Amino acid sequence: MGEFSEKAARHLRWARQGGLSSLVEEDDLRPVARAGRAWRKWRWRRAHGVDAGTAMPVWLVGVQRSGTNMVVRGLEESPEVEVHNENDGRAFERFRLRSDPVVRKIVVESGHRYVLFKPLCDSHRVDELLALDTPTPGRAIWAYRGVDGRVRSALAKFGDTNLRVLTEIAAGRGAGLWQSQRLSPDSLELLRSFDWASMDAASAAALFWYLRNQLFFDLGLDRRTDVLLSSYDAVVADPEAGTKAMASFLDLAWHPGLAAHIERRTPKDVAPLELEPRVRGLCDELGARLDAAAAVQAP
């Protein structure tokens, strides 16, 4: 099956699972809206375009189903931001970033102030991406979401994918998978300590959330000033404050369009998922650590 056929089949499957409106929203399939944004960006380049080679690369990373599409939709409303999402064949191939020279060329040839990439499958490389040799140093936003919300969303869209992948990695057969890259020896030992014959899909999705978000600390990103930790749950609770924090971090002028698409939601008393007890403990502990780190960064 060719790449186009795979993409069409994937879209059909996601439309059946989440509904056509959800697919249109996530993959930005509204041609009128896309054309309008392209026109505004063209006009901005004509009036304010920066010298080629001076754009700042911005890396939006984290675990899938953590609200990154929401962040992209807001930032792309700013005409000074050039966006390359995971479905952009110029910058990505099957959801993985193309080679560093290709990505660097996109940045240095841009006429915008910012070039935003969303390389979720390359989140384990964010420290390396921040070291990419561009005239303007890059910055990164690590988006995270509470484990229960992320697991529910992942199960709805991806089914038991996390279970199947982690089973392979635990059995020593996943060395070439992006999901296994740069996992620490402690994380790999933890992964192998579970009984994968009895693991359920929800617990596996939660453990995947744990392993990938643990990279934020394992890579020392919590000690860097060029990485912002952004909570999905905090942003939807107060969209204006959340988007202002991102704009301030990027030195980007805030405007209401950055938050206009976000429906303000107050926390609901939803029963937590029934997860394998040890997985639940690990996730709750890491969730508290992430929240604490985000609070330290808050203005």
pLDDT of 20 reads: 44
* pLDDT tens per residue across span 264-296: 988 777 889 999 999 999 999 999 999 999 999
* pLDDT tens per residue across span 178-225: 999 999 999 999 999 999 999 999 999 999 999 999 999 999 999 999
pTM: 0.87
Phi, psi of 160 (to 5 degrees): -95, 25
Q: In Å, how far are 127, 140, 151, 220, 269 from 292, measured between CA atoms? A: 21, 19, 21, 15, 22
pLDDT of 34 reads: 60
Residue 152 CA to residue 16 CA, distance in Å, equals 17
